[in-house]
Amino acid sequence: MPTHNARAQRDYPKLFVGGRWMAPIDGGRLEVRSPHDRSLTGVAALATPRDVDAAVATARKAFDDGPWPRMTPARRQIVIKRFDDLLSRHQNGIADLITAENGTPRWFTGWCLAAMPLQTDAFLRAAETLPWEQELPDGHTVVRREPVGVVAAVIPWNMPNQSALVKVIPALLAGCTVVLKVAPETPLDGLALGDLFTEAGLPEGVLSILPAARATSQYLVGHPDVDKIAFTGSTQTGRTIAAIAGQQLKRVSLELGGKSASIVLPDADLDGVTEGMKLLAYGNNGESCVAHSRLLVPRSRQAEMEDRLREMVAAIVVGDPFDDNTFIGPLVRADHADRVRSHITAGILGGARLIAGGPDAPAGLGQGCYVKPTLLTDVDNAMPIAREEIFGPVLVLIPYDTEADAVRIANDSPYGLGGGVWTSDAAHGLEIARQIRTGTFQINGAAHSLEAPAGGYRNSGIGREFGLAGLEEYLEYKTINR
């Protein structure tokens, strides 16, 4: 349950620069308004390039001359464990903030925040077991793992706390210093982390948190004193960042868009598919890069699947994100909701058959940024609605004839982030999984391990996050011969 003051306004008029709260140099401020009713959620300082210069200079000095990169890995782990404990104590308040900022239902933000200690624990286990310096069997070679340097971590608004910590935690454990650039839609929960890291004992200079718009973000990633860029967001922006990183030969990791396919095999339990797809396609308002937004169904079971999905989608409660009964809240902005509705309209005009939802705004929700959960069927995989990331509560059903056809359709995408298969034969599901070109894959909706790498093929990104693979993204290897 949200606290009684869950909707209370929260203001952060200063930026968190190297562990100190500082007024923005150019006096920028940002009003954050609820996408549910446009009420004022809070006010945050807004960074400009001059603030970026200050934050990067602080991070550079802390990396080049400060204690954090020179601490033993074990001492850094102690600080992160303290932060982990503090975040657990404050998780309800931060979950409330995120719901107020971006409209994600409170049940989902609460679930995400409860998982953050588990995510951090996985990084801590990786750091504890990693051979930071090892002597090779030849007796004259030492291999060291050293921090990459100053990290620019740029995150989106849809799962802001998870997106921040999946970068900041491994970067800090590696010994890096970090400038975290949070989205202008969700600055408050990001800035709330500052005091927690300070209380945990993070030295001055090691972490800055800057809300900023796109132009300032681009200035940050192109800054000559940034050694590594870690980005989560759209594929289009990822291409721009990759070009900047390529020109400057910076390290870069990109977690980008997706158009994941779930394959329903003929032997699947359709009730289980229906229940699973409610979360996989419509969870987090459908604003998820790993959403299973394409459902591939054998023609022999298409009608059955449509009936179950129609009933499920019609029963989804859309409304106030703080209401315990709400499954889908408002989308983050009005222009984004309009964009999602335009995709739905284009899909119908392109030949898809609407069986639930639609492009009309839900009734009775005022001026909120709401979109009906929508299901389209008889979709051809060549249609734009099957190929473009919509980032909203829209599922398309694509019929197939043979299993080989289903595998071909699943792989026929510019993306390769996630996917799944539904079958009563788990061993056969594993055979299917081995044929799909994606970074993660779920058999019968199984949960993703926080120890295991996650990332994308093709237009879904470069590099991996979580666990040991995520930690190694922030390390350089040095070989010493003696």
Active site positions, annotated? 255, 289
Query: Is 315 exposed, middle or buried, given 0-12, 13-18 or 19+ CB atoms closer than 10 A?
Result: exposed
CA distances for 2 relative to 42, 97, 113, angstroms: 18, 10, 13
Q: How far apart are CA 99 and CA 107, in angstroms?
A: 9
- As beta bridge partners, residue 209 has 16, 180
Question: CB count, 10 Å around CB of 70?
Answer: 11
Burial class (CB in 10 A: 0-12, 13-18, 19+), 477: exposed
Amino acid identity at 286: G
Bridge partners (DSSP) listed for residue 318: 328
How far is C-alpha 364 from the geometric centre of its chain's CA atoms?
31
Which residues contact residue 476 at a Cβ distance below 8 angstroms, ignoring those fewer than 6 apart?
145, 146, 147, 148
Under 8 Å between Cβ of 188 and 97: yes
Rama region for 160: left / alpha / beta (φ>0; ψ in -120 to 50; rest): alpha
